[in-house]
Amino acid sequence: MSEFEESGIGEECGVFGCVAAGEWPTQLEVAQVLTLGLVALQHRGQESAGIVTSNGVNPPTYNTLKGMGLVNNAFPPEDLLKLRYGNLGIGHTRYSTTGISELQNCQPFVVDTLHGKIAVAHNGELVNAAALRKKVMRHGVGLSTSSDSELITQLLALTPPMEELDAPDWVARIKNLMHETPTSYSLLVMYTDVIYAIRDPYGNRPLSIGRLVPISKLHTAGAGEGDTEGWVVSSESCSFQSIGAKYYREVMPGEIVQISKHGVKSLSIVPRPEGDLPAFCIFEYVYFARPDSIFEGQMVYTVRQRCGRQLAIEAPTEADVVSTVPESATPAALGYAEQSGLPYVEVLCKNRYVGRTFIQPNTRLRQLGVAKKFGALTDNFAGKRVVLVDDSIVRGNTIAPIIKLLKEAGATEVHIRVASPPIRFPCYMGINIPTKEELIANRPEFKDIAGYIGASSVQYLSVEGLVSAVQGGIPSLQKDERISTNTKASRRVGHCTACLTGKYPVELEW
């Protein structure tokens, strides 16, 4: 349990799509693949979930299933049967940052256009949503929800100036949208028999493509293109293993990819303004992503280990053991222990059956909730100096009672080491961060944070240390022959650190 979790900091959502390969109607259970894919993305949003499937004919029949809560609660088995004839589909799991928590804000959104229905699923938050909302309304289009995603759907439905009346140009429409809003979005757009996978020019939110293969060939090198049973696209590659898919590649920043039963085709690249670097959210590595996901050619778990090693270099201390607050910071703690030459031990036992029921807005009850979640493994640390590695200190309310618990159980010293820099600024690109005033790094207590939370010492990883740990393992793109030269040229390494530095990748509009 991290300070991120206790403070309500969360990713906005996850998107997932599937297209059956070969002859249609397919034998592939597309709705089941979508459901399992969304379950694997559940950490990205627990508020609501939705699926839209299509038979892929012209005009297509769309079937929609939406519900509040976790995926398994939102999709009863009897309702999933209604989607069983789909040949392709997209799904979404939501954690609201814009828009209130209601079923009407649940995605994917389906709208009628001049050329038929489209379905849209979106991860991110538009930095110029207010201006775009006015523009859509000036076209006489009413908006029924407070969600950015409906806004995107309506913008896609608007006909570009040069489009022929009887021939929809979806690439032109998508490019038009991308020129209207620079970030932040990863999108799935389903139209008739294809899914378009789109990432904003800054690549702020992740999006990966996988290839469904026979289970017998999942862990072998012998699965060729002819063995492809379908294509999937997901916010994170961690969802691929659970559905029998092999990682194929990432959608690049600014790229528009068409996924059909015939395969994957890169259609276009929308460039960033000259001189601008990509701005992939660095906190996907720090906390939001599942540790087995792959971004930029490297596994998140390995990056977190490097952060821990860098933290040990920057903030060593005299101690006897290294541990962590279970369990998102475990890779960083292992890296810290390895670099410092200290043994890693567990000092806390988590009660896995205490849910978020105990997380209350009242500070006293929040502290009480922490006490209910952990027991001290006293034999591992009594009479010893402990380095406790965590991935964040957001408000300080979570870590303080844990330190108190360890000291009362016999730790002689508790040194806090944080595997990310202090969060000082709000995010306007899809992450729900408390107000600037609530962040402990902006409060007077931060000057003596060790005294405030009862620690022997507190030190954070530097911004430079975090960036070097993240970028140190990114392999050369030139080795991936599946990505065109044009796409490679559009990709340089860059990460958004706005919540740490206040330097946003684009100018914010209000």
Binding site membership for [4Fe-4S] cluster: which residues? Answer: 281, 427, 496, 499
d(CA 257, CA 251): 7
Spell out where 162-241 has E strands. 185-191, 194-199, 208-212, 230-234
Contact 257, 265 (CB under 8 A): yes
Catalytic residues: 13
Annotated binding-site residue numbers for Mg(2+)? 328, 390-391
- Confirm if 206 and 235 have CB atoms less than 8 A apart: yes
**Closest to 98 (Cα-Cα) out of 52, 129, 136, 131:** 129
Quote the CA–CA distance of 233 and 202 in Å, as a whole number: 19
CB 125 within 8 A of CB 205: no
Which residues are annotated binding-site positions?
281, 328, 390-391, 427, 496, 499
Tokens of 341: 């030459």
DSSP label at 360? -
- Please name which of 12, 448, 36, 93 lies closest in space to residue 210, comparing C-alpha atoms: 36
**What does each C-alpha distance from 240 to 48, 226, 233, 359, 384 come to in angstroms?**
21, 19, 9, 32, 42
DSSP string, 27-65: SS-HHHHHHHHHHHTGGG--SEEEEEEE--SSSPPEEEE
Rounded Cα–Cα distance for residues 449 and 451 (Å): 5
